[in-house]
Amino acid sequence: MAEKIDDLFADGVGNIGIQSAIARIELLQLTKVPIGKEPPSYQVSRRLVMSLESMLRLYQGLDEVVKQLEQKDLIRKPGAVAESTASSAGKAKAPSKKK
Residue-wise pLDDT tens digits, 15-68: 999 999 999 999 999 999 989 999 999 999 999 999 999 999 999 999 999 999
- pLDDT score, position 94: 45
In the chain, where the domains are located: 12-91
Q: What is the largest CA-CA distance in the chain?
A: 82
- pLDDT score, position 79: 73
- Residue pair 23/49 in contact (Cβ under 8 Å)? The answer is yes
Quickly list DSSP for 22-37.
EEEEEEEEEEE---TT
Q: In terms of Cα–Cα distance, which of 2, 24, 1 is closest to 13?
A: 24
- Residue pair 11/31 in contact (Cβ under 8 Å)? The answer is no
